């Protein structure tokens, strides 16, 4: 059965982190996204930018080891506001190239964000944009939580690595590299769709300003 959506834009942010909680406020340091074609079961385009953290510019040793991101990469990164502008430009290009829309109730082919858990868009991006007085576009307020659908279908709870293993897939690349996490989420979605998973919007805050 043809899914309701034609494309998923799979996001997986990496953020500043510490071995012990409450040592700082998370800031996005890697902003990756893959465009996944649901009918062809393939990734068509990728976006990745490193983001310069402003509150805690020096990454913790724990963060460096967990993500594999180097200090020089975030030092040379762009501020979040500029990264969002670059992303919107990229999104404009690919929506034109593949003739789809991120808007609701469109007669065109449609795309929607997908994330492994609500944290990326509901907590991380929302809080940082609010704290730094950055406008959060309406397109970031509606998404599919893949983990929620995965739990509904399999009754299995765990992280992305455990979910992949549960369905017989191995993780490809480096864990906690945002781009690799997004690619592996796409692989998981592709397999779950062949096993009958139905895509549905799990969060929609577009009516809240």
Residues with active-site annotation: 14, 176
List, in sequence order, every residue forming a beta bridge with 111; answer none if it has no partner.
7
**What is the SS3 assignment for 7?**
strand
The phi and psi torsions of 69 (rounded to 5 degrees) equal -75, 135
- CB 59 within 8 Å of CB 71: yes
Report the distance separating Cα 25 and Cα 55, nearest Å.
8
For CA atoms 106, 10, 12, 119, the dihedral sign is: positive
Q: How far is CA 160 from CA 56, 153, 203, in A?
A: 27, 15, 20
């Amino acid at each position: 059965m043809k899914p309701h959506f034609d494309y998923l834009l799979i996001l997986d942010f990496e953020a500043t982190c510490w071995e012990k909680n409450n040592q700082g406020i998370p800031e996005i340091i890697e902003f990756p996204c893959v465009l996944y074609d649901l009918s062809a079961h393939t990734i068509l385009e990728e976006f990745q930018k490193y983001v310069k953290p402003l509150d805690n510019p020096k990454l913790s040793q724990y963060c460096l080891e967990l993500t594999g991101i180097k200090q020089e990469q975030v030092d040379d990164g762009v501020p979040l506001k500029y990264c969002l502008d670059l992303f919107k430009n990229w999104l404009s290009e690919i929506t034109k190239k593949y003739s789809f829309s991120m808007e609701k109730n469109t007669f065109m082919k449609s795309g929607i964000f997908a994330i492994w858990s609500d944290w990326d868009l509901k907590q991380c991006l929302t809080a940082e944009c609010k704290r730094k007085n950055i406008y959060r576009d309406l397109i970031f307020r509606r998404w599919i939580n893949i983990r929620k659908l995965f739990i509904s279908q399999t009754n299995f709870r765990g992280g992305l690595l455990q979910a992949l293993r549960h369905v017989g897939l191995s993780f490809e690349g480096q864990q906690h590299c945002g781009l690799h996490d997004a690619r592996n989420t796409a692989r998981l979605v592709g397999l779950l769709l062949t096993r009958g998973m139905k895509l549905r919007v799990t969060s929609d805050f577009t009516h809240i300003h």
